[in-house]
Structures are given as C-alpha cells and as structure tokens.
Amino acid sequence: MSEHILTVNAGSSSLKFALFATSRLDCVAIGMIDGLGTDPNFVMKDGKGQKLLSDPLEGERFVADHHGALSTVLDALARQFPQARIAAVGHRVVHGGMAYSAPVLVDDEILEQLTGFVPLAPLHQPHNLSGIRAAQVAFPGVPQVACFDTAFHRAHPFVNDAFALPRSLYDEGVRRYGFHGLSYEYVTGRLAEIAPFHAKGRVIICHLGSGASMCAIRNGYSIASTMGFSALDGLPMGTRPGQIDPGVLLYLMDQKGMDAKAISDLLYKSSGLKGLSGISNDMRDLEASDDPRAKQAIDYFVFRLRREIGAMAAVLGGLDAIVFCGGIGENSRLIRESALEAMEWIGIELDLDRNREGADVISSDRSRVRAFIIRTNEELMIARHTQQLLTPQAAIHLVNAQA
C-alpha cells in the first residue's frame, strides 16, 4: 500500500479532484464531475493526460450533489488504484476572511468559522465547505486541509486593501481580499524556477478563465489584485461583470425594483461575456462566432485587460515580466495577441510566431519586458500545502474502504 493525498475543488455544479503520491507529489490521476444535479459527466485522466474514464453518469449512476460525486470519484479511484491509501485531503476554499493567511487543518470550530464567510463568497464558499463535509464523512479521522484563495494576498499594503468607506467597515472586514491566490502562488513559484531574475522583479500575472483576475507581484509577493471584496470585481468574466459603477446597482434597486437575490443572480450568473454577447460565457464559442455581439464581448474583455495591465504596471512602478495562465490565458492566442498589441510603450514586444505556437516565452528577443505562458496547477499547490501539514500520526484510510 502507498500513501496518497487527494485534492478536492468543489464548485457550484462540479467537483474537481486529483490524486498525488505523497513521496514526490507525482500526480497519478486528475479529473472532474461537472453538471451535478442536472447533466453529470465524469472524466478522469492519469498523470500524463491519458484518459482513464469517461462516464455520462446516466440512469442509476446519476449524481445529484457533492457527497454523491465524491463517492463516485472514490469508487473509480479504488478500481484504478487499489493500492492507494489516503493520508490527507486538501481542499480549495475560496475565502479565508481576515483570519487565515495560510492553509489550516480543519476541525469543527474552524469549519464553523469558515461557514461564517459564506456571505463574502456566496457563489463558491458553500460548495467548498460541502466538499469538506463530504470528505469528512468519506474519511473519518483523516486530516482535512483548507487552502485559501485569499491567503496569497493578505500582505497587501493598506492603500490596496481599503475602500474609501467609513473606517469602521474596514475594521469589520469590508476590504479588498483578492482571489485566485493558489494559482498565483503556483505560477509565481514556477516563474522563479524558469526565470529567477524576472521573478525577483515586477511581474503581472493574468489568470484568465471563466473567472478572471490579474495580480501585481513584486519580488514574489502580491501587492495588488484586480479582484476586491468579492470575486465580482475587476476584469469581466464568463458570467460576472467585473468592475461596475455601484450607482448601477442603486438604479436597479430603485428603478427596476430588484432585490438582493435578483441582483446577485444578475451579477453572478447573467453578466460578463454571457450577458454582453447574448451567446455564450465560453471564450471559445465567442472566438468561433460570426455574430458581431461576440466580437463586441471579446473587444470589451481585451479593453479591460489592457486597461488593468497599465494600472498594475503603475502600481509596480514599471514592469519586468507578464505571465498568462488559466484556460483563456494558456490557450487563446487571440486574447494574448490582442492584449499585448502595440504595448511597446510599456516595454512589451510580442513575437507573433511564438504566440501562435503557444511557446513558453512569447515576447521577442528585443522585448524589454518578457512575456510568458505558464500553465497553472492549483491542484499541485493544494497538495504541497497539505503535505506540509501532515503529521506522522495522521490517520490512514483505504480509498476502497470508503467507496
């Protein structure tokens, strides 16, 4: 029997997972179940990306919630890796509030405290915690580790943390938290491995996916983020608007009679690329579309991206490197090219051929600022944090004993 770490990333209608051997943190399996409760589908690959399983989960195999999803995952892992034993489970938790600036072993008291942060991240936090509870049932006594997306940003200076609201609200926790911290932490560490000189300088990381944000990094530390109090702020996203004048929300309340739930649904589910285009929240669909609304949505996304690059460079006092990661950042040559077009004024000169090829470095040899593509790996970051918190006395449970 060999010890493994299981990582769990529970979303609103999905459960992502990965299985790592604890000895060298080699990934042996990775996958997800999406469409929970509606049209579930299960895909699992090995550590080299070869598909091990693809199951639409129809009929008796239908999965309605995270408990059912985790049970389905464990059953599949037990069949594929019967010798694997779970030493700990690491979880992505979006919000750690003011209390947590590092991963933590979860107990009942901490779980209750994290539940208190649900109003700060209503789209994500309840599902993250549901994943923890499901894992506690599946692995009683096995360490559960919460890894926070906000933790990487907790050392922001006051001016990048505060809103110009009464100070009492800041003291209560109404402040800019920043998110996607696990991704930024991994990419920052990876940049230090492949380009240590640039990693010690002034870096902008663009995490572009269904959720999108940017982070200003100086000498490996986050000093500013486009996301603020919630995961709604900053860049436009798949279904979220990004930066918006709060007067718009007052108008919707006063003139349209919208209550908090209606506005929440609008901001979290019906805005962003989906709302602008009226077509899709998926950048791939928009890039393939001939509908002028798709182009307008893309143009707006790029406009905001370019605007925030300038803002982050100003915060940093210059720029040494820019990094693209996330589903869009890693795979859309159009977005990267459009974002960096005519950016010589800031020191960036794009190499079009390298960008089309998706090379690790997409800037030209003449470019003063180096531009990178780095594939993020939040699962490995969670596994690393979990391993660090393991103790020799940690309870070990068989995967197949809990299937």
Active site residues: 149
- The enclosing H or E element of 191 equals helix 181-194
**What is the distance between the alpha carbons of residues 149 and 111, in angstroms, rounded to a whole number?**
16
Which residue, among 331, 393, 394, has the nearest Cα to 357 in the 3D structure? 331
C-beta atoms surrounding 362 within 10 Å: 26
**CA–CA separation, 322 and 354 (whole Å):** 15
By DSSP bridging, strand 202-208 and strand 212-218 are antiparallel
E strands along 251-294, which residues? Answer: none
Please give the radius of gyration of the chain, using alpha carbons only, rounded to the nearest integer. 21
Question: What's the CA gap between 164 and 274, in Å, rounded?
Answer: 31
| Spatial contact of 229 and 174, defined as CB atoms under 8 Å apart | yes
DSSP structural state of residue 31: E
Q: Which of 190, 243, 178 is nearest to 216 (CA)?
A: 178
Burial 125-135 (b: 16+ CB within 10 A, else e): bebbbbbbbbb
Residues 6+ apart with CB under 8 A from 356: 333
- Please report, for the chain, how many H helices and E strands are present, in that order: 16, 14
